[in-house]
Amino acid sequence: MCGRFSLSVNKVEMSKYLEEFYDIEKYPDSIELPRYNVAPGQNVLSVIYYENKYHAGLLKWGFVPSFAKNESIGNRMINAKAETLTEKRAFINSFKHRRCVVLADGFFEWHREGKKKTPYRIAHKEKAIFPMAGLWSTYTKPDGTKMYSCTIITTSANKTVEKIHDRMPVILSEEMRKIWLDPEMTDLRMLTNLLVPTDDEALYYYEVSSTVNNAANDLPECIEAIDA
């Protein structure tokens, strides 16, 4: 699972990244950066493709299908398993037509030993910012306002992450990302083939403080390594 992540870059760094990789020159001023401890239910910085260009904006983390009876279902749909996307009514339409990437520079997992759970941060060795595969949806509230939400797709852990946890978010390469965001791509078999663990050697991890355990703590301490 992926239940917490970071995007600990500043707005200047994010602007350079979005312009270089997505040709996005502007993104909403409402986006707060840096973020050290992004949690479900919060807005996350995402990229989608429509009207022949990429757009960056905020989606609420916790997928709410368009047919949902109420938005509380999003609390249970922060992740979607890559292996079962085509089997889930909630996800199938978005899998075909509403794919996104959620931007991060690290994610957190907790390693369990007996009753003890130790938090670790996993980051990419080469990429300061990386795209995690996601799906998004539009839900119309009873008052007529629209809510835009998303889920992060997970897959089995690679050999690096499995030392901590058995699942990990799908991290897309640049070529995979272009295919994933292409609205003309509707071949579910080809799309499913993108949803695999990233290379074993691409990631590294380190132990962090229990400060990250509380989602209210959006502090630099959340991403700082604990000295061995």
Query: Domains of the chain, with CATH numbers?
Result: 5-223 (3.90.1680.10)
pLDDT score of 15 more than 70: yes
3-state SS record for 56-100: EEEEEECCCCCCCCCHHHHHHCCEEEHHHHHHCHHHHHHHHHCEE
d(Cα 53, Cα 30) in Å, to the nearest integer? Answer: 21
Identify whether the C-beta of residue 48 lies closer than 8 Å to the C-beta of residue 24. Answer: no
Q: What does the DSSP 8-state code read for residue 175?
A: H
CA–CA distance from 140 to each of 14, 17, 96 (Å)? 30, 32, 20
Predicted pLDDT at 190: 97
**pTM for the complete prediction?**
0.97
With 0-12 CB in 10 A as exposed, 13-18 as middle and 19+ as buried, what is 161?
Answer: buried
pLDDT confidence band for 30 (50 / 70 / 90):
confident
Is 114 strand, coil or helix?
A: coil
How far is it, in rounded angstroms, from Cα 127 to Cα 180?
A: 19
Statement: residue 128 has pLDDT above 70: yes
Q: Which amino acid is at 160?
A: T
Active-site annotation, residues: 2, 109
- By C-alpha distance, which of 80, 168, 170 is closest to 120? 168
Question: Band of the pLDDT at 227, cuts 50, 70, 90?
Answer: confident
